Structure 1
């Protein structure tokens, strides 16, 4: 019987470090395409300009996209990404193409899968895989776009989840071997994607580990603070997403490889799954271009490999087939990072709790927090046998605090936030928020209050 995708991947990863492809946008720019190319015959009279909407090229210039896939496979890629980074209704709204996002993902997947099939037929001992690329969209759930209204969000969790569901359906129906949730700068938005993925897999009856496409998750550290744009640390991010049972977790984009090293090392230390790294070709210059040469990018990634940090490597913005070829040669023969292996039934010992922010995790032996209960706000909270009693702030509870209830009923969220701040400054390790009260629109109140405290780093630091 032919092994399933997960088993085939695991067999390959046991032998060597696998190579992802590089930047799609950089390669599209090399073709110097016109507005007419982006429109094609189908969108010749479309109301919006389409130049710059790279994803629509899977319909209007599939030859270009298929050609780029083949260039990366020829350079040494084991895994290529679909050209669907922005293929959600949220992102495509800028181009008036919300109605065709399922088709974008379907055709984007088919192009990548076909290219992989061609190369796998040439080298059966080295199968190639298509990963459905799922980007972060241009709207975020954790940050308000309006400075004077911290509780405002341009999109809701349910709306974003619905957009991701449509994308995931197209990618799976198009035959993607894996799903790649990437360039994550807002963990809450990533959770919306994770929920969408689980819902679609359940909808399609893909519940068994051998049937469902493995999920790769890749986060973006925006600067040398080691945090995401929404302020979360790498270890807190891991705690926040481990319930999704990722096939791999990693870092991509933002920083060049040189500046990624400490954050990659931390992720490699704590994660019990495969670890990936696909950096930009350095930092952009004054003109927004990437100057790092293939020999330099590949040297950094080889050092990561020899340090035992990675199982999967590749490139992001500014990288080309030349970079990927150099990376493939650089890691050839280097042993992959050993992992505390997970079987088809999921993480050994892993038990996802009801909350999305807490997990009991069976982690690698060199992770001192193995087996302990963990929670995450912007920073992690680990409860060990030798921990003191954990203090839970109970004043942000409409049934337990007359003052807090009065503030919420009157819509005085600014002062209600101060109640939470006082709790944290008083030593609370976690914050209990309760809006369950008969005379209150509890869902609206909870949403608004949580949006407020998400903008206060001192409060958001602790789990809620």
Structure 2
């Protein structure tokens, strides 16, 4: 018997049916939407953290600046985060990602909030769960799903941050595993339907996350689907730790993910050749959620919803996609355009399905 508190066999079956029937749409950027609200330090802190301490944890000093700590808003501005989820769902998203990109003890250390790791993951998943359940209740024929996000952390197990000490590592594999395990448990507690290790620039970090996920599944005696999404960092066609899309797939294939994909760093046009590689070799679903083009001189993104949707429609016409969405710079308008572009598209067939036919 499963010990996953929110697990629903009906939702799990519905997810598999949806993947077989159509290209599923993932939501767009959380950070881009938060930035539009022009929040100040007091908005991030809320009443709970207003006096420099976490008033629910007497030993939790929060003297660090919190502005920009978007994950904290799941506790201090849950209305804002739930509202963003609702906007993406209304735009046509089938899956929404939790507001937990930086919710590992490693990344939260920059804000002095390591003690909130499990709580932030739990809260982030619950907010997404609530938004998805409300959208599903309005249209039971189209269930919506929560992707529990595990971000890359700000420390890498493969590369030295010190050019004068190439053998130095700021984090160990075991430390990463411990951090990811705590985050994973929070996402499970909060009601995630899927776990996604995303924006992977160091495959060893991703392996630590996948190891931690497996430990959690073993402890619960049950599993959730897992997605893995890497990041091709530049025109070299490789991740930061030096892997091509093909090498990345073979490095994580052992985890039997529900989907392998790519996100961030590049716009859809530049990402296409790498998604094509995955579509040719992966024996699982393929996802893509690129940026809205490349950043401009001011750090913004200029690709319009229509242009981005047009490029991604060609991906679908070429049989490359099972799941698609947006990363940095994308908004509900982008997701609405992408959802419309995918409406009559057939999902990429899995190799074993093609053989069976």
Same fold flag (TM > 0.5): yes
Q: State the match for 1:38 in structure 2.
A: 44
Match for residue 16 of structure 1 among 6, 12, 22: 22
> Which protein has greater RCO, CA pairs closer than 8 Å, 6+ apart?
2
Q: State the match for 2:175 in structure 1.
A: 159
Asked if 2 retains the 8 angstrom alpha-carbon contact of 1:184 and 1:190, the reply is yes
Per-residue Cα deviation, 1:283-317 (whole angstroms, up to 9, x for no partner): 00011110110001100110000000001000000
Structure 2: give runs of 5+ residues left out of the alignment: 1-7, 53-62
Q: Does 1:27 align with 2:38?
A: no
Normalised by the length of structure 1, the TM-score is 0.72
Q: Does 1:225 align with 2:236?
A: yes
Superposed CA RMSD: 1.1
State the alpha-carbon separation in 1 of the partners of residues 229 and 116 from structure 2: 26
Asked if 2 retains the 8 angstrom alpha-carbon contact of 1:5 and 1:213, the reply is no
Q: CA deviation at 1:6?
A: 3.4
Q: State the match for 2:59 in structure 1.
A: none
Q: CA deviation at 1:7?
A: 2.4
Q: CA deviation at 1:341?
A: 4.3
Of 224-233 and 250-259, deviating more is 224-233
Per-residue Cα deviation, 1:320-340 (whole angstroms, up to 9, x for no partner): 000000000011111110003
Asked if 2 retains the 8 angstrom alpha-carbon contact of 1:275 and 1:312, the reply is yes
Per-residue Cα deviation, 1:1-53 (whole angstroms, up to 9, x for no partner): x7444322120111110000000000001111111110001111221110000
Match for residue 305 of structure 1 among 316, 322, 338: 316
State the alpha-carbon separation in 1 of the partners of residues 230 and 141 from structure 2: 31
State the alpha-carbon separation in 2 of the partners of residues 4 and 144 from structure 1: 46
Asked if 2 retains the 8 angstrom alpha-carbon contact of 1:305 and 1:335, the reply is yes
Q: State the match for 1:277 in structure 2.
A: 288
Q: Does 1:106 align with 2:122?
A: yes
Structure 1: give runs of 5+ residues left out of the alignment: 207-211, 343-363, 366-464
State the alpha-carbon separation in 1 of the partners of residues 346 and 16 from structure 2: 14
Q: How does 1:38-437 map to 2 (within 5 A)?
A: 38-46=44-52, 47-206=63-222, 212-341=223-352
State the alpha-carbon separation in 2 of the partners of residues 192 and 341 from structure 1: 29
State the alpha-carbon separation in 2 of the partners of residues 284 and 319 from structure 1: 12
Of Structure 1 and Structure 2, which has the larger fraction of its residues in helix? 2
Of 41-50 and 187-196, deviating more is 41-50
Q: CA deviation at 1:64?
A: 0.3
Normalised by the length of structure 2, the TM-score is 0.93
Asked if 2 retains the 8 angstrom alpha-carbon contact of 1:85 and 1:135, the reply is yes
State the alpha-carbon separation in 2 of the partners of residues 122 and 54 from structure 1: 29
Asked if 1 retains the 8 angstrom alpha-carbon contact of 2:11 and 2:143, the reply is no
Asked if 2 retains the 8 angstrom alpha-carbon contact of 1:69 and 1:112, the reply is yes
Asked if 2 retains the 8 angstrom alpha-carbon contact of 1:55 and 1:83, the reply is yes
State the alpha-carbon separation in 2 of the partners of residues 122 and 52 from structure 1: 33
Does the residue aligned with 1:297 lie in a helix, a strand or coil? Answer: helix
Number of aligned pairs?
338
Q: State the match for 1:358 in structure 2.
A: none
Per-residue Cα deviation, 1:197-229 (whole angstroms, up to 9, x for no partner): 0011111221xxxxx210011010011221101
Q: State the match for 1:452 in structure 2.
A: none
Does the residue aligned with 1:265 lie in a helix, a strand or coil? Answer: helix
Per-residue Cα deviation, 1:215-246 (whole angstroms, up to 9, x for no partner): 01101001122110111111111111001000
State the alpha-carbon separation in 2 of the partners of residues 88 and 174 from structure 1: 15
